[in-house]
Amino acid sequence: MLVVALALGSAAAYGLSDFLGGLLSRRTNVWSIAFVTQCTAFVAIGLASLVVGGEPTHADWAWGAVAGIGAGTGTALLYRGLSRARMGVVAPLSALGSASVPVIVGVATGERPTLTIWAGVALAIPAIWLIASERTGFVYAQTPQTGRAGLIDGVLAGMGFGLMFAALSQVPEASGFGPLAAAEATSIGVVIGLAAVLRQPWMPRDRTTLGAAAVGVFAAAAAALFVLATHSGLLTVAAVFSSLYPGFTVLLAALVLQENVHRRQGIGLLLAAAAVAMVAAG
């Protein structure tokens, strides 16, 4: 099923961008990381939109702007959460939020997946949590106070990404990538606005921050693949399988950082594989 392949490609790109973003967010200012990430994503999607073309309507541009609010909020709060609490706690919270909001929207707008697809979606939800879990559970990266704040960041980031997914799903294929470019442009303003309200510096000031440019490229690819997935199948399927990105982050951590995949993560990966098979069969 094409929608599953595209959504998993999106998850892989999101997983890679979050892996790199998570590493950078603990070495320098998270708001600068978010700013550079979104700027790079805007440039990449903007160039793609010129190549692909399309005829977006005023409504499509508006949905793109709404998606940008979610993207900017989700990106900034996710990176802040990763700098405050364990990745294995923040990531699944954000992933569950990013999956649940579009599923609700999809059902509310008339999508009726088959029983087999629903079963696959039902398996994918706990798989997301298990894949990103840690042996140590809710352990804080800094102090209990900052850790709890990090958990809240994860929940709010998930809501932001869920809004982004739901809004982008309203943009038809004929519109091309223009509305997605508008989303990335809007997200830049959102990051700057949030940083200003919270009195945090957002301008890049060191070379480490510039590494976020690579994060932005992968984030742009992930968003583009998600849009293509929504054009190929149900939003409920595209959103849930795109939200399996913690699995790719875990695999990267195992390959690059030599982190062990513990038992719960292994069970989660098996559930994810079963979920993919069931949705593809449905």
DSSP the chain: -HHHHHHHHHHHHHHHHHHHHHHHHTTS-HHHHHHHHHHHHHHHHHHHHHHH-----HHHHHHHHHHHHHHHHHHHHHHHHHHHB-HHHHHHHHHHHHHHHHHHHHHHTT----HHHHHHHHHHHHHHHHHT--TT-S-BSS-HHHHHHHHHHHHHHHHHHHHHHHHHTTS-GGGTTHHHHHHHHHHHHHHHHHHHHTT---S--SHHHHTHHHHHHHHHHHHHHHHHHHHHS-HHHHHHHHTTHHHHHHHHHHHHS-----HHHHHHHHHHHHHHHHHHH-
Residue 260, pLDDT above cutoff 70: no
| 42-72 residue pLDDT tens | 999 999 999 988 889 999 999 999 999 999 9
Q: How far apart are CA 97 and CA 160, in angstroms?
A: 8
The 10s digit of each residue's pLDDT in 215-232 is 999 999 999 999 999 998
Nearest Cα residue to 162 out of 77, 81, 89, 85: 77
CA dist 245 and 7 (Å) reads 10
Of residues 232 and 114, which shows the higher confidence score?
232
Q: Cα separation of 162 and 182, whole Å? A: 17
Quick count: other Cβ atoms within 10 Å of Cβ 174? 12
Binning pLDDT at 50, 70 and 90, where does residue 134 land?
low
Backbone phi and psi for residue 85, each to the nearest 5 degrees, phi listed first: -130, 170
Per-residue pLDDT at 10? 93
Residues 262-272 have a mean pLDDT of 74
| Average pLDDT over the chain, rounded to an integer | 81
- Mean local confidence (pLDDT), 209-214: 85
Q: Which two tokens stand for residue 23?
A: 């590493």
Judged against a pLDDT cut of 80, whether residue 127 lies above it is answered with no
How much of the chain, in percent, has pLDDT values that exceed 90?
Answer: 30
pLDDT value of position 21: 80
| Count of the separate structural domains present in the chain | 1
Given this model, what pLDDT does residue 54 score?
86
| Dihedral, CA of residue 208, residue 72, residue 246 and residue 176, to nearest 10 | -110
Residue bearing the bigger pLDDT, 143 or 17 = 17
Q: Which residue has the higher pLDDT, 93 or 180?
A: 180
Residue 129 has pLDDT above 80, yes or no: no
Q: What is the pLDDT of residue 223?
A: 92
**Joined tokens for residue 85:** 């609490």
For residues 266 and 7, which has the higher predicted lDDT (pLDDT)?
7
User: Residue 239 pLDDT more than 90?
Assistant: no
Please compute the mean of the pLDDT values over residues 5-9 and round it to a whole number. Answer: 92
Domain range holding 192? Answer: 2-281
Decide: 71 and 183 in contact? Cβ < 8 Å: yes
